[in-house]
Amino acid sequence: MLYYLLEYLNKAFNPPGLDMVKYLTFRSAVAAITGLFMAFYFGPRIIKKLQEHQIGEKIKDFGPKSHFSKAGTPTMGGLIILVCVFIPVLLWGDLKSTYVWLLLLGTMLLGGVGFLDDYLKVVKKMRNGLIARYKLVGQVAVGLLVGSVLYFSPEFSDVQGLTTIPFFKDLNLDLDLLYIPAVVFIITATSNAVNLTDGLDGLAIGLTIIAMLALGLISYVSGNMIYSDYLNIQYLQGSGELTIFIAALIGAGLGFLWYNFFPAQVFMGDTGSLALGGALGIISVMVRKELLLPILAGVFFFETISVIIQTTYFKYTKKKYGEGKRFFKMAPIHHHFEMAGWAEPKIVMRFYIIGIILAIISLTSFKIR
């Protein structure tokens, strides 16, 4: 909205300096700054409201003892992130872009699913919150929406069903009719992966910011004909607008991290984790880098794998020996290190480092082909 106003003023009066508004890098920067300062403004106010309504986290009895002191910490803080992403994108994004509207809609819908889950658990005191299959229905619905638009819309006909294969030059995979099911799986998987990772103060949001920094560069390059040709990345007209959303999310995420890092003043809840994970998956499929996700989002990936290993091994040993055994001290894997005696900030910082290394590997994959 503000972008269109400034563009009009620039064309009508041509004041010095206002020409910058047409540059994607400028709009991305101000979107990030807007998201950051909005988070600083709305953060304390939303946290206060959550405290007033006693919307606090419930700590499970079988979790690490160090988490018992976190009981009552305000949750549903993902609202801070959603508000501080939505408004900057409306202000600085090109609202004629299908990329922007589809990403916004998908993220907000998944945030709504998470909000309903949090509301039922915390406000209505329903222990398990939203029934798992209903949550899955919401995730699948968003996946079907995104996949159908990307597959059937004439705007994306040049890349219909295609995805690029990392580390291989000029090699694409045409999923054809399997494309929509693949998109559903990816969005569902990433939203759940971030949700599983959100178990330590600052962990999920920090790793999301790291992954988004890499995706922001990929989106910008993919939407630039010159850079995409130089790096031999598939050119996707209009995908550069995704950097506005990504920049706003990074700014909002940094603002949220201010209140979420150890010791956390607020938790994002499923409201935030499902939305962030969904955004990660949606952007990946939009820039045709789905197969890069296990590297780019490697920490999220391994957190999920650790839960699968733990559950499978427990069921196997229970069936074979009559008593279930654990492969890890506790899953997801970050709790394993907690149970091993690692301090929470130490685990978070080391996972950040791993996330940064994986993001760098993902970016360098474009020049080592």
Please name every residue paired with 162 in a beta bridge, in sequence order, or none if there are none: 174
Indicate whether 360 belongs to any domain.
Answer: no
Indicate whether 302 belongs to any domain.
Answer: no
Tokens (6 digits) for 83? 């508000």
Sorting pLDDT into bands at 50, 70 and 90, what band is 230? confident
Q: What is the pLDDT of residues 303-331, one digit of tens each?
A: 999 999 999 999 999 999 989 999 999 99
Number of domains making up the chain: 1
* pLDDT exceeds cutoff 60 at 369: no
d(CA 290, CA 63): 33
Is-contact 257 206, C-beta < 8 A?
Answer: yes
Q: What is the pLDDT of residues 9-45, one digit of tens each?
A: 877 888 887 888 889 999 999 999 999 999 999 999 9
For residue 253, the enclosing domain spans: 2-296
Indicate whether 213 belongs to any domain.
Answer: yes
Indicate whether 329 belongs to any domain.
Answer: no
DSSP state of 93: S
Indicate whether 368 belongs to any domain.
Answer: no
Lowest mean per-residue pLDDT among 22-26, 86-90, 255-259: 22-26
d(CA 322, CA 318): 5
Indicate whether 346 belongs to any domain.
Answer: no
Indicate whether 254 belongs to any domain.
Answer: yes
Cis amide bond preceding 345, omega within 30? no
Indicate whether 310 belongs to any domain.
Answer: no
Sorting pLDDT into bands at 50, 70 and 90, what band is 62? low
